[in-house]
Structures are given as structure tokens and as C-alpha cells.
Amino acid sequence: MNKVLQKLYHFLEHGEDVVLATVVSNTGSTPRTIGAKMLIRRSGEIVGTIGGGLVEYHVLQYAPEVFRAGNALIRTEELMGASTTTTNQMICGGRMEFLMELIAATSANRQRWEAFAQAMETGRDYLLLSKLAAQEGLGEVERWLVQEGRFVPESFPYRETWVRLLQEKSGKAAAAQVVVMESERFLVERSAHAGAVYLLGAGHVAQPVAAIAALVNFETVVLDDRAEFANAGRFPQADKIKVLTSFEQAFDGMEIEEKSYLVIVTRGHQHDKTALAQCLRTKAGYIGMIGSRRKRDMIYKELLNEGFSQADIERIHCPIGLKIGGETPEEIAVSIVAELVKVRSERNAVKAKATPTCCP
């Protein structure tokens, strides 16, 4: 979602009003879940997706009305459709409810969406609370940012104990949730950082990895000791690029957290070993290294002889990536990013499973 929010703020900053469509409930089999977002410009251009097909076709039909009236709408989309593929109806078998609203380029909106987008990028803990009325035709959506009990805007017309309950019931799950407080329904979205991928090595595999990782909302950081490789010309999608003195100081000045993903794709055995040793000294939740099993076993043996433990070795994904039978740098990159997405999804699922989503 962060890429959509970045684009939303970009439009607002340049004085452009846009329509924001957000999935606020889903049952059965649906293409997207709660919190999925899509922007619609007056030209009809879209950013993001809430499911494609007829869902987005109908959303685009509603958009001119939202631009014209300035009021928010809540609509439902039945995906039961026909039992064959010979019609244009969607046959997923589920039901989606989505909110459509005009986000005008006012100073208040710029402040609100900038703060939330920045919170997502920096990992600061925010909640975005959006009040969802029951009727299909709404006025402007009431929305608040909350950090450590402080509201933006500062006024909150409900009991402040609700915020604590909303925080508790949304937990630490990255996924958006709808929480009911007495008769009021809130969409609760946490400023969960999608995670940063640190590419140790800027060679021919790192390039497509950076590009694909950016497409699925990872922050991408490229690290290499060669300026002619680690540069914006080769990595236009990268969020950060750092030319290292050596891989022995790969993470100097950086804070590697549990939600960090470290991908070792250097140009040789010795650099791989050096980089891997540095990775094992961090708290990173994912460490992966490209290479053959023979090279892997040799490096593992050397690290064990230097004092690393078997528990350290078990943290490493090597050979890196899901087994899809790829050989080209682009195919290898697909397998690597697929594994990163799998790990991220499994972590989010564990957090969501441990989190209650409704009030007693």
C-alpha cells in the first residue's frame, strides 16, 4: 500500500484532486482483501488495484460522480456471477465492499497523508482510523492519525479509551482491519513498513532483484564496493545506494531490524563469506545467499571454524529463492523475490492470527 500512498501524496502536493477507492470488507473468494487501495485521476488513469476486472470497471464508472459531488460512496460488488467463463460476470464466489472518496488537494489532506506515508517509510508506529458509516452515500470521511495517543487532527469526538482498544484489537498485524466499537465501524490501518531488502552486491542478478522487489513494495537498498556498479543509472528503482569501503563495513551507520531482508549476491566466494559474516551479526529476520551447495558448505565450514554457531548457520537461506527452475538473472530474481514475499506473508499471517479483530 505504501507505493499508492506515496503517489497519493505526490498528486496532492501538486494540487491534484484524486478519488481513492479502498476495500473495506470482503467475504468468500475475492481478488483483494481489506485495505487494498486504488487511485483514480480525472483522466481515468489508475494507480494500484483493488482486484481488476469488473470490480475496477464499476469503480471507474462511479468515479466521475465522486469527482462531481465530492461525497464519499460505499458500494458492494457481488462476485458470485455465472458458473461458467462464457459471460463477463466474475465467478470468484465472494463479496467485496469498497469505499470511494474524493481526496481534495487541501493543506489538511496534504499534512495527513504525508504524515502517514512518511510513517510507513520510517517504520514509526501510527494508526490511521477511518470512520465507516452504514449508509451508502456519505459526506467527507472522518479520519484521524494516532501516534502514542496524539491525534492529527487533534479532536477525536469519541471516548479516548476507544483508541487504546482499537490499538489492542488491531494488534501489530500489518493487514488492515475493520473494528466495531459499539455502533461505530472503523477501518484501522497500521503504518506497517513492508520491509527493506538490502542487496549486498550490485551485479547482474541484483539489478532485476531490485526492480522486482520495488514492485512488491519492499524498500530496496543496494550495497557494493564498486561505484561503477552501485549507482542510480543501474538501479533507478532503488531507494538507497551506498558505495562501501569494503563488505566488512557493509552495515556501518545502518540499523538492521528483524523486518530487514539481507540478500547476498556479491561477485565471489570471499566477498560472500565476508558479507555473510556481517549479516549474521545483525538482527535481520531473513538472510539469503546465492550460490551452489558446494560453495555454501565450504563457507559454512569456514564460519563455524571462526566461532559462529550452528544456530547462526540455520538462519541462512541458501541456495536462495524458491525452486522454479530458472537460469537467467531475471528468472533467478523472480525466485528470490518470491521467497521474500512468502516469508513476509507468513510473518504477517502469524501476527494477524494472534490478533482479535472485534469487540466483545
Count structural domains, the chain: 2
Residues 216 and 84 in one domain: no
Residues 61 and 24 in one domain: yes
Task: Look at residue 85 in the predicted model and tell me its pLDDT.
Answer: 39
Residues 28 and 106 in one domain: yes
Distances (CA, A) of 104 to 12, 13, 65, 66: 7, 11, 14, 11
- Residue 335 CB-density burial (10 A; 0-12 exposed, 13-18 middle, 19+ buried): middle
Q: Does any domain span residue 22?
A: yes
Residues 206 and 304 in one domain: yes
Out of 190, 223, 255, a domain closes at: 190
Edge-to-edge strands of the sheet including 316-317?
A: 240-243, 219-224, 196-200, 260-264, 286-289, 316-317
User: Which residue range(s) make up the domain with 125?
Assistant: 2-190
Q: Does any domain span residue 354?
A: no
Per the CB < 8 A criterion, the answer to whether 266 and 276 are in contact is no
Residues 246 and 178 in one domain: no
Instruction: Please give the chain's pLDDT, 360 residues, in tens.
Output: 467 888 898 999 999 999 999 998 888 777 778 888 999 999 999 998 887 777 888 889 999 999 998 888 888 877 755 444 344 444 456 788 889 999 999 998 888 888 777 776 666 667 788 888 755 566 678 887 776 656 656 677 777 677 777 767 666 555 678 888 877 888 888 766 678 999 999 999 999 999 999 888 898 999 999 999 999 999 998 989 999 999 999 999 998 989 899 999 999 889 999 999 999 999 999 999 999 999 999 999 999 999 999 999 999 999 999 999 988 999 999 999 999 999 988 876 655 554 433 333
Residues 175 and 213 in one domain: no
Residues 186 and 223 in one domain: no
C-alpha cell at 295: 560453495
**pTM exceeds cut of 0.85:** no
Out of 175, 190, 205, a domain closes at: 190
Per the CB < 8 A criterion, the answer to whether 223 and 203 are in contact is no
CATH code of 282's domain: 3.40.50.720
Residues 37 and 89 in one domain: yes
Residues 127 and 11 in one domain: yes
Task: Look at residue 68 in the predicted model and tell me its pLDDT.
Answer: 92
Residues 94 and 60 in one domain: yes
Q: Does any domain span residue 166?
A: yes
Give phi and psi for 110, each to the nearest 5.
-60, -45
d(CA 152, CA 234): 40
Residues 97 and 211 in one domain: no
Task: Look at residue 281 in the predicted model and tell me its pLDDT.
Answer: 96
Task: Look at residue 46 in the predicted model and tell me its pLDDT.
Answer: 93
Residues 127 and 228 in one domain: no
Q: Does any domain span residue 8?
A: yes
Q: Does any domain span residue 356?
A: no
Out of 190, 215, 242, a domain closes at: 190
d(CA 219, CA 221): 7
- The conformational region for residue 71 under phi > 0 = left, psi -120 to 50 = alpha, else beta, is beta
Q: Does any domain span residue 101?
A: yes
